[in-house]
Amino acid sequence: VRGLVKQHIASYDYFVSTEIKKILRANDKITSDANPSFYLKYLDIHVGMPSSEEGFNQINDKISPHECRLRDMTYSAPISVDIEYTRGSQRVLRNGLIIGKMPVMLRSSKCVLKNMNESELARVQECPYDPGGYFIIRGSEKVVLIQEQLSKNRIMIGRNSKKELQCEILSSTQERKSKTYIASKKQRYYVRHNQLSDDVPIAIIFKAMGFESDHDIVSAVGLEEKFVAAMAPSIEECASHQIVTQEGALQYIASKVKIRKFGPATSGTSTLPREHEAIDFLSNLMIAHVPCPDGNMKMKAVYLGLMVRRLMQAEVGDTECDDRDFYGNKRLELAGSLLALLFEDVFKRFNSELKRIADNSLGKTLAAPLDIVKHVRQDLITNALVDALATGNWTIKRFKMERQGVTQVLSRLSYISVLGMMTRINSTFEKTRKVSGPRSLQPSQWGMLCPSDTPEGESCGLVKNLALLSHITTDSDEKPVIRLLYNAGVEDVKSLHFSAIHNPAYHIVFLNGVIVGLTIDPQRIVSTIRAVRRHGLLNEFVSVSTNAAQRSVYIASDGGRLCRPYIIVKNSIPQVTQEHIEYSKNSLQELKKGYRIFEDFVDDGLIEYLDVNEMNDASIAVYENQIKPTTTHLEIEPFTLLGVCAGLIPYPHHNQSPRNTYQCAMGKQAMGTIGYNQQKRIDSLMYLLVYPQRPLVKTKTIEFCNFEKLPAGQNAIIAVMSYSGYDIEDALVLNKASLDRG
């Protein structure tokens, strides 16, 4: 059952191994205002193995998850850092200083149970079929539910509450999140932002970015006649404000920017001229994910022009609005990314606390030389992480983000209820709003989410479940993708004139929502990336798709996209042939020795992962006999379209549709076995059936998720008895007419 919760575990592993080091690198130095020669520098960070500290002499023991359940402890591992700091006048290197404890997810790379076989698992009293993927916090088992959100850094055109068209973009970088809107009132275009006290006309923003002549402004949007005509009122309005130069525009913007108060209001804010605030707003807050190297705002102006152009096209009716419920525009947040946000917030608080202590004690004269290690408080990081997981309230001060109910207690009604809980997806949408859009079943969810498994009532359609084969990506590095694109013939925008971006011959190439460059031949870019990915030289989860209406190529390598594997079809011949299958059938006994695993098929270029955006470009056959000459991919198994709970139903296609939905809700409540260690557990409430039976009618899903080894319920028996109850030994009384009719 590794497969059903692999997304949780992969996400946590990525956080512990990679993400935590990135966070450390971003905040690696503490200096003091009181004494400039003092510093503390973090060199490396790593999470150890789970241990417990007991008694007065602080014995560190390896601890098993089951012991934590019984003794109401938290299953966590120490976080240790290597630091270099000054004490008095000498430099000190210190390795393995513990700064706190990190809760450990079961069956992850830091867990004791990793790579154990059945007899070793039995020794630590753990069930071999338990999926893992949850945390043990103060003795109770907590699951971080998958959270669903709109994707960041994408241009979306939609209607606001007043039914007006507007173009919005939600930018998210390491430092901040911000939303930028472009709205139109009376044929004039305005930029809207939380930091602006009032809407600013679009032409003034362009002027502030250094586009002083009107011709430049128009060419940033497009030189076709309809675009020139649509831009005219905005430029006239700019002239009516008597704004001609860049300085004038910056002063106008500065008068509209709300003054942000950092700590003490006096320090540093009054000395900066107001224009600097406007420049800071333009480069760091508006469309924050497009970088401005050394104050060069050309890329950002091009991006802004593109947004205005999209809005105009939607008003004229060339393109329709974007669908917010389309599943390619959604991202799923797993435990790893949520913990990373939390840890970064706590780590910054921890550092500022240390800085305050250093400032206070270095300010005193004639004090003993400060040894900062003595002031390291372990409980700060530990308590913050444990409390967030225990209560489910994630508060992150930087993003002003507050969420309730992110974690839930794992429901141990039966084995199926555990599996059903691990694959559940929670939407951040409010339950009270009577909007049918997000609740309905989208065609883009085919193969990614289970169509039957959703609760009834108010949360219907908002709480969903993953299908069997679907996988959630983790972040992968952008640099190799960018290098590959420039080698494949993408031209950098910086080297061209900015009006070239609207030339009909060019396609715009986006990578994770940022413009990388332009290309004349989009098909060549797409086929190059696919070929390199199939040869295993690129991360297999990088997706590429084209959009002809918007003349663009989208490439995505960010985390949280849903994808699933398909067999590649070339020249209407599937790449995985009978020989491969028979080869692996013979080696099913040898799979334990690991001659060939599923990942090998991916590495050999026989199977590839497609996400929702790329599935729109592919032509997928469900069965082998449906392959046409145009087919590009073949479904691995049609039944993997269902989730775990719906997969247990035999012959679901013979049932009325809502019956399957009812069964998904009630199958979790069937009494049965919980796990092999059910006698050892001490839950306050546990439902066990005395004599469960293995089901006689089995689906393939039942064998996949080991339901037959931990069954629930019994088989129904039809008993035939003689009429009137006499002569049961040897006689049956039958109706002659029925017998004649057969």
pLDDT tens digits, one per residue of 386-440? 999 999 888 887 777 788 888 999 999 999 999 999 999 988 766 566 677 788 8
What is the mean pLDDT of the segment spanning 511-517?
89
Q: What is the mean pLDDT of residues 680-700?
A: 89
Name which of 221-230, 293-302, 541-550 the model is least confident about.
293-302
For residue 454, is pLDDT > 90?
yes
Question: Which of these, 226, 228, 208, 185, lies nearest to 279 by C-alpha position?
Answer: 208
pLDDT value of position 646: 92
Q: How far is CA 271 from its chain centroid?
A: 42
pLDDT at 582 over 60: no
Q: Give the pLDDT score at 532.
A: 92
pLDDT given for residue 434 in this prediction? 65
Residue 26 has pLDDT above 80, yes or no: yes
pLDDT score for 176: 73
CA distance linking residue 676 with residue 122, whole number of Å: 9
pLDDT digits (tens, 9 = 90+) for 461-504: 889 999 988 899 988 888 999 999 999 888 887 777 767 777 88
Give the residue with greater pLDDT, 411 vs 293.
411
Nearest to 4 by CA among 507, 493, 467, 580: 467
pLDDT of residue 591: 46
CA dist., res. 301 & res. 116, Å (int):
56
Residue 38, Cβ density class (10 Å: 0-12 exposed, 13-18 middle, ≥19 buried): buried
Q: How many other β-carbons are positioned within 10 Å of the β-carbon of residue 120?
A: 13
Query: Is pLDDT of 266 > 60?
Result: no
**What is the rounded average pLDDT of the residues 117-124?**
90
User: Cβ distance 683 to 411 under 8 Å?
Assistant: no
Lowest pLDDT segment from 77-91, 525-539, 666-680: 77-91
Domains and CATH numbers, the chain: 155-322 (3.90.1110.10), 479-640 (3.90.1070.20)
pLDDT, one tens digit per residue, over 152-182 is 888 888 887 777 888 888 888 777 778 888 8
Position 273 pLDDT exceeds 80: no
CA angle 80, 45, 17 (to 5 degrees): 115
pLDDT score recorded for residue 279? 81
Q: Higher confidence at residue 412 or residue 292? A: 412
What residue type is assigned to position 595 of the chain? Y
Greater confidence, 60 or 130?
130
Region 656-675: mean pLDDT is 92
Q: What is the pLDDT of residue 242?
A: 83
Average pLDDT over residues 279-307: 82
* pLDDT on residue 103: 94
Query: What is the predicted pLDDT for the residue at 581?
Result: 56
Q: What is the pTM of this model?
A: 0.87
More confident of the two residues 280 and 23: 23
Q: What is the mean pLDDT of the chain?
A: 84
